[in-house]
Amino acid sequence: MNNHGELSFEQIVSHLKATGQEENELFQRAAAIKQTHVGNNVYLRGLIEFSNICEKDCYYCGIRCSNREVHRYTLTHDEAINCIRFAHEKGFGSVAIQSGEIASATFTKKIDRIVREAQKVTDGEIGITLSCGEQTEETYRRWFESGAERYLLRIETSNEKLYRQLHPEDGKHSYTRRIQALEALKKTGYQTGTGVMIGLPFQTVEDLADDLLFMKQMEIDMCGMGPYIEHAATPLWKEHYRLLPLGERLRLALRMIALLRILMPDINIAATTALQAIDKGGREEAILVGANVLMPNITPSRYRDDYFLYENKPLSARNDEEELDYLDERLQAIGHRIGYNLKGNSLRYGKRTSSLP
Ligand code: 5AD
């Protein structure tokens, strides 16, 4: 393995299967590459789960539109702005506004107003990531011009056949359109992120190797990926007997993160909530093997339990201030420090755009 991320497909597959000493070596390698390229700062994105209303019907997701058991909510404008003020005051360099997918003029306007006001109340100091699904190029442009700098749209799996198995063929879900949306985001000028679920039923290590190569080939700037976790009120639940045990899914996700860091040394990689759902130290483990972004949930607590994507999703045990102190301590204990008041832009994005004509 060389330092420059030139791993072959076969090598990636073999590393994805690594255990014991071989796995340790992979983790150490990724940690060293991370240290060299992005250092030991961990950037915070305050996660705001804006709305769990969703037009999509993904077979794996707890807030799919067919799940009638979900109590649906949308934050008010003021609630969203209060979250952003809180994040800014606490030194979070940025927020991520995540939502179920809604394509409507009203929704577009709501997000637009929040993005504009967030700039105003923080003097342009807060970085804004949107994660609001597939939208038209025009909507992406409008939000970008209002001040959103980053967008996260997970491809979920880069295997088109598997994508079809995970989504209904109802005209609302299309692998091709999702790729086109990612391309539109890049073209618009966003720092563009994607990601996949790891350990899905029917997914092979070869699929995961392809996912990593897909991200490299797409030249993404950021990645958020985590283990698939079953949810009893979804159609995919019936396949749960096919799944790896949770502990093994977590390790597989850690190997994915390590390999992505080796393949793409200067991107931002998030230690996602799903890792924490499996093991309360899962995010710190991810930081140790290559991740450099944490997304503490700052959604108002009365809504939090309704954004229930999968089983064991961590709920609010501490208040958000205590949570931040706790994270600060945990990160220091593993030789990292929080990059307070820093937007933590993707270094890859900087290089990608400065080399444009
Ligand atoms: N397990 C893990 N991640 C999930 N997501 C949705 N459902 C699940 C699940 N059951 C992820 C998807 C989506 C993001 C909001 O949450 O990747 O893009």
CA of 309 to the centre of ligand 1 (A): 6
Expressed in angstroms and rounded, the spacing between residue 3 Cα and the centre of ligand 1 is 32
∠ CA 258-18-270 to the nearest 5 degrees? 20
Report the separation in Å between the CA atom of 355 and the middle of ligand 1, taken as the mean of its atom positions.
34
Residue nearest to atom 7 of ligand 1 (CA): 61
Q: What is the distance between the alpha carbons of residues 263 and 350, in angstroms, rounded to a whole number?
A: 18
- How far apart CA 140 and CA 189 sit, in angstroms, is 10
Atom of ligand 1 nearest to the CA of 197: 17
Residues 211 and 282: their CA atoms lie apart, in Å, by 21
| Contacts (Cβ under 8 Å, ≥6 apart) of 168 | 57, 59
Closest ligand 1 atom number to CA of residue 154:
18
Tokens linked to 206: 């070869």
Q: Has residue 355 been placed in a domain? A: no
Going from the Cα of 273 to the center of ligand 1, the distance in angstroms, rounded, reads 10
Task: Please tell me the distance from the alpha carbon of residue 143 to that of residue 109, in angstroms, as a whole number.
Answer: 9
Q: Name the residue with the closest Cα to ligand 1, atom 16.
A: 309
309, 312, 313, best to mutate for ligand 1 pocket (most atoms within 8 Å of CB): 309
Q: 276-285: string of b/e by CB count within 10 Å (b at 16+)?
A: bbbeeebbbb
Nearest CA to ligand 1 atom 18: 154
> Domain range for residue 95?
9-350
Q: Is residue 51 part of a domain?
A: yes
Q: Is residue 239 assigned to a domain?
A: yes
Determine how β-strand 127-131 pairs with β-strand 222-227: unpaired
CATH of the domain at 297: 3.20.20.70
Widest CA span of the chain, in angstroms?
54
pLDDT in tens, the chain (357 residues): 444 468 999 999 999 999 999 999 999 999 999 999 999 999 999 999 999 999 999 999 999 999 999 999 999 999 999 999 999 999 999 999 999 999 999 999 999 999 999 999 999 999 999 999 999 999 999 999 999 999 999 999 999 999 999 999 999 999 999 999 999 999 999 999 999 999 999 999 999 999 999 999 999 999 999 999 999 999 999 999 999 999 999 999 999 999 999 999 999 999 999 999 999 999 999 999 999 999 999 999 889 889 888 888 887 666 888 889 999 999 999 999 999 999 999 999 999 888 765
Note whether residue 338 is domain-resident: yes
Please report, as a single letter, which amino acid is at residue 267. I
Residue 230 resides in a domain: yes
**Residue 153 in domain:** yes
Q: Report the separation in Å between the CA atom of 1 and the middle of ligand 1, taken as the mean of its atom positions.
A: 32
Ligand 1 atom, smallest distance to 196 CA: 17
Q: CA angle 122-124-129, nearest 5°?
A: 95
Residues 253 and 27 sit within 8 Å (Cβ to Cβ): no
pLDDT at 343: 93
Which of 53, 54, 60 to mutate to test ligand 1, by most ligand atoms within 8 A of the CB atom?
60
Distance 211 CA to ligand 1 centre (A): 16
Entry pTM: 0.96
Atom of ligand 1 nearest to the CA of 231: 10
Q: How far is the CA of 258 from the centre of ligand 1 (A)?
A: 20
Domain presence at residue 160: yes
Q: What pLDDT does 316 receive?
A: 64
Residue list, ligand 1 pocket, CB within 6 Å: 60-61, 154, 156, 197, 228-229, 231, 274, 309-310
Number of folded domains in the chain? 1
Three-state SS annotation for the chain: CCCCCCCCHHHHHHHHCCCHHHHHHHHHHHHHHHHHHCCCEEEEEEEEEEECCCCCCCCCCCCCCCCCCCCCCECCHHHHHHHHHHHHHCCCCEEEEEECCCCCHHHHHHHHHHHHHHHHHCCCCCEEEEECCCCCHHHHHHHHHHCCCEEECCCECCCHHHHHHHCCCCCCCCHHHHHHHHHHHHHHCCEEEECEEECCCCCCHHHHHHHHHHHHHCCCCEEEEEECCCCCCCHHHHHHHHCCCHHHHHHHHHHHHHHHHHHCCCCEEEECHHHHHHCCCHHHHHHHCCCCEECCECCCHHHHCCCCCCCCCCCCCCCHHHHHHHHHHHHHHCCCEECCCCCCCCHHHHHHHHCCC
Is residue 99, in this structure, part of any structural domain at all? yes
